[in-house]
Chain A
Amino acid sequence: MYELIYDEEICERCETLDCLTKCRYMELDLESAKRERGHILRGEDSAVLTDCVTCYACEEYCPHGNHPFYLIVDRQEQKGVWPVPIPLTKQQVVMMAPKGQIQPQTVKAPVINMCYFPMLMGSIQGKLFDGASIIVGSDIFCNIMWLHFAKNSVIRERLPQMIDNIWTNYLKDSGVEEVICFHDECYGTYTQLAPAFGIEVPFKPIHLFEYLTKRLDELSDQINPLGLKVAYQRPCSNRLVPETQHWVDDIFQRIGVERVEREYDRENALCCGGVLRAQQREDMADDVQKKNLDDMVSAGANVCVFNCPFCLFTLGEAVAERGIMPMLMSDLCRSALGEK
């Protein structure tokens, strides 16, 4: 059930193998890439399976939308490859399990989906979110994180139930169809990952940044341009939905901040390093984080904007230590409206 929907022939015939040759964490030339492609398609052992850091980027690199990353994750699980050590993986599977506590609740638009990040609820206040209904909890956790743990099986098992929970408990009877995903990961889950596995999504996900842009337009007379220099930490999940990247610039333009020109931005964005540490790749995490932070500093950023709570937990302190203020995108927008 919920098998990965991809065309094996496209992979077989691909000449450029962008997914593997563009990878920033594995050094693969075209020859090696072709060889490993064969192994992967045939379900054999491959160094790619153990070396992949699960940054999601190849979903973006593939020009055919043929889900190379999801295939790698499937293969990892089939071949018993554990990107994150077994005890830590098992703990996470229990920690993030649905608790079965969801209660039906009437909601009205705009509905903000906080996924399983109750600790960020404090950010949902002020004019931007006036009148919003919030949904949050273990029973609506999007489950995309299992891509980092080679556990597509957990996604297959839990995601359909989560989608049903959202629809049945909140949306159906309230007559609301749109759900604003606070986190990129959720948006990616419902728009790109779910269809890739043939999982149906009865509601319409809206990217938080699209919502923010619209609200900023509605409140444009109350905006005081911030005049800040901002670095944007692009989360890995944004690789699933690169068409949403423009919202970042749209927001920045409206609130009067400059997106500093830096090396590790947009397609070149670096993983925050959090998952690398979970994978016990400490040296690589140190290296990636140093590059990322040095880059922000030399580009002259005063603020680093995050969309992903995990990136924020991982990099927040380090960023602050370098004299750059870590913030969520919504909080940055709120300060442009004069809110604290």
Chain B
Amino acid sequence: MEEIYKELEKIVGPEYVSNQPEERFIYSRDPGTMEPCNPDFVVMPNSTEEVQKIVILANRKEVPIVPMGGGLVLSGLTRPLKGGIVLDMKRMNRILEVNETSRYAVVEAGASQGMLQAHLKKHHPSLKHSIPDSPPIATMAGNVLIHGSGHLSHAGGFHSEMLNGLEAVLPTGEIVRLGSCSISPYWFSRAPLPDLAGLFVGWAGTTGVVTKLAIRLFPNRPFNDVGIFVVEDPELVPDVIHRVTGVGVGEDVTAWMSPKPLWARGFQHININYSADTKEELIWKRNLIRSSVLKYINDKIGGFMPLPPPMKKMFLEAPASALVRFADVRKGGGFEYVGAIMPIELFPKAYRMGEEIGERYDAAYSTGARVMGLGHCMMFFYAYAFNRADASDVERAQRALEETNQVALEMGGIPWKAEAPAQKQIIQRMDPNTYGLMNRLRSLLDPKGIMNPGNWEVD
């Protein structure tokens, strides 16, 4: 260990390595409910070359490596399950290139959502990127690589679908470029080459360390609005989503349901965000969206909520700080959620299940669903707030999350960024040939098994 520490110091400099109890405490856990797992070292590289050296060292010494962005995944994927080195990537936070015409940005893996947002606002105001609801220090790579989604996902799908290419350090130390950037100076897409970038998306850091990535950007228009369509019958929601997304002028379609405040209980709110270059265009889009659900309006069983300006502002904010405040609902600084990816038609079942579990556990819960693309699927989320200083409250949330994962899987959904126990449940249900292929690829890429071990494994 002493030797490894000295080697790490040589690679990144003594100021950017720690094996101290303080760092080991903080980096062993995230703000969710998962139990802490201590790292041996926390290292903060500043370049791909430094990452490469660290990986080669870890490979040689057979020490686990866990890449980490903002550490806000909440399902504990950045905890070193088998100890080893946590790689805090946030020093690698540069924005390398913004291509305005072909609308993409190339950033280092540790670049944060907020800094890209600010950079675009200042230097490329006609462009924006899809912003997830996580706090602004969350990293671009962290979110894209777990199939994240955000406020432009109706327009552009999962954030992984907006990935044009990446640079990564393989567990054996080679640096690879995947996507068009592997042969062209432009990072414009993964097509038409064999799509190797998929080897890093959704693998929870078990296939290597991504050091750079390119993501698609979208037009940033001056006029923005949101319509919140409210119904009382969850059976109507799949059709509402189908209609609204079919129009194709929105940027974000996200439903939210919550037992609190009291007036929201029992109602399904479908938020549709859209933007335009002129006021007239904005009104035209509003009318298009409205026409798509006119049937429900005429039958009086659905309607757009009148929004006072402060409420509207809240729903137009990206990232939405209001969502982060859910953590204080139990005055305890914690929440975690199951985000189950599923087809739209499962909405009523998913909603009822969420209500039932939330009520049975007497949890502080909230549910919702973000729609991907033109209603191709949705991320149905079940969030539970807990008081981290109250062990029984944490346990209650844990059990609710566990049961939620199970029921989501049973109905045909798949939890995203699944924590280790949920991964095992997924593996149980997975096509054995598929899981077999995953293992073969991992053995090939990571023969020593150093990359975030303990994940996507059966005991």
Verify whether A and B have any Cβ pair under 8 Å: yes
List chain B residues, Cβ under 8 A from A84.
Answer: 303
Report the minimal beta-carbon distance from A279 to chain B, rounded to whole angstroms. Answer: 8
List chain B residues, Cβ under 8 A from A25.
Answer: none
List chain B residues, Cβ under 8 A from A316.
Answer: 309
Taking a contact as CB atoms closer than 8 A, the residue among A280, A283, A314 that contacts B303 in the complex is: A280
Q: Is the CB of B286 within 8 A of A274?
A: no
Per-residue contact bits, chain B 166-206, to A (CB 8 Å; 1 contact, 0 not) = 00000000000000000000000000000000000000000
Taking a contact as CB atoms closer than 8 A, the residue among B263, B283, B297, B301 that contacts A91 in the complex is: B263
Taking a contact as CB atoms closer than 8 A, the residue among A87, A277, A282 that contacts B232 in the complex is: A87
A85-B297, A88-B230, A282-B290 as given contacts; A94 in contact with B262, CB under 8 Å: yes
Report the minimal beta-carbon distance from B48 to chain A, rounded to whole angstroms. Answer: 48
Q: Is the CB of A87 within 8 A of B231?
A: yes
- Size of the A side of the interface (Cβ < 8 Å), in residues, is 22
Tell yes or no: A244 within 8 A of B by CB: no
A94 CA to B286 CA in the complex, in Å? 28
Q: Is the CB of A95 within 8 A of B263?
A: yes
Tell yes or no: B435 within 8 A of A by CB: no
Q: Is the CB of B303 within 8 A of A87?
A: yes
Q: Is the CB of B283 within 8 A of A90?
A: no
A286 CA to B279 CA in the complex, in Å? 12
B residues 232-246 touching A (CB-CB < 8 Å) = 232
Per-residue contact bits, chain B 277-298, to A (CB 8 Å; 1 contact, 0 not) = 0000001001100100000010
Q: Is the CB of B305 within 8 A of A88?
A: yes
Q: Is the CB of A94 within 8 A of B263?
A: yes
Per-residue contact bits, chain A 68-83, to B (CB 8 Å; 1 contact, 0 not) = 0000000000000010
List chain A residues, Cβ under 8 A from B432.
Answer: none
A168 CA to B289 CA in the complex, in Å? 50
Report the minimal beta-carbon distance from B230 to chain A, rounded to whole angstroms. Answer: 5
Q: Is the CB of A85 within 8 A of B302?
A: yes
Q: Is the CB of A313 within 8 A of B309?
A: yes
Report the minimal beta-carbon distance from A107 to chain B, rounded to whole angstroms. Answer: 29
Q: Is the CB of B283 within 8 A of A86?
A: no
B residues 303-326 touching A (CB-CB < 8 Å) = 303-306, 308-309
List chain A residues, Cβ under 8 A from B265.
Answer: 94
Tell yes or no: A317 within 8 A of B by CB: yes
A141 CA to B19 CA in the complex, in Å? 61
Tell yes or no: A106 within 8 A of B by CB: no
Q: Is the CB of A92 within 8 A of B286?
A: no
Q: Is the CB of B304 within 8 A of A91?
A: no
Per-residue contact bits, chain A 213-242, to B (CB 8 Å; 1 contact, 0 not) = 000000000000000000000000000000
A283 CA to B306 CA in the complex, in Å? 14
List chain A residues, Cβ under 8 A from B261.
Answer: 95
List chain A residues, Cβ under 8 A from B290.
Answer: 280, 282
List chain A residues, Cβ under 8 A from B264.
Answer: 91
List chain B residues, Cβ under 8 A from A82.
Answer: 300
A95 CA to B264 CA in the complex, in Å? 9
List chain A residues, Cβ under 8 A from B267.
Answer: 87, 90-91
Tell yes or no: A278 within 8 A of B by CB: yes
List chain A residues, Cβ under 8 A from B306.
Answer: 88, 274, 277-278, 314
Give A90's nearest chain B residue, CB to CB.
B232
Report the minimal beta-carbon distance from A1 to chain B, rounded to whole angstroms. Answer: 27
List chain A residues, Cβ under 8 A from B308.
Answer: 313
A85-B303, A88-B303 as given contacts; A280 in contact with B262, CB under 8 Å: no
A87 CA to B300 CA in the complex, in Å? 8
A316 CA to B310 CA in the complex, in Å? 12
Per-residue contact bits, chain B 243-263, to A (CB 8 Å; 1 contact, 0 not) = 000000000000000000111
Q: Is the CB of B309 within 8 A of A280?
A: no
A92 CA to B305 CA in the complex, in Å? 10
In the complex, 6 of the A-B residue pairs with CB atoms within 8 angstroms, ordered by the A residue number, are A84-B303, A86-B232, A91-B267, A283-B287, A286-B283, A313-B309
User: What are the 6 A-B residue pairs with the smallest beta carbon separation, nearest first?
Assistant: A85-B303, A95-B263, A94-B263, A313-B308, A87-B232, A87-B230
Q: Name 9 extra pairs, CB < 8 A, besides A85-B300, A87-B301, A90-B232.
A: A86-B300, A87-B267, A87-B302, A88-B303, A91-B264, A91-B267, A94-B262, A95-B263, A280-B304
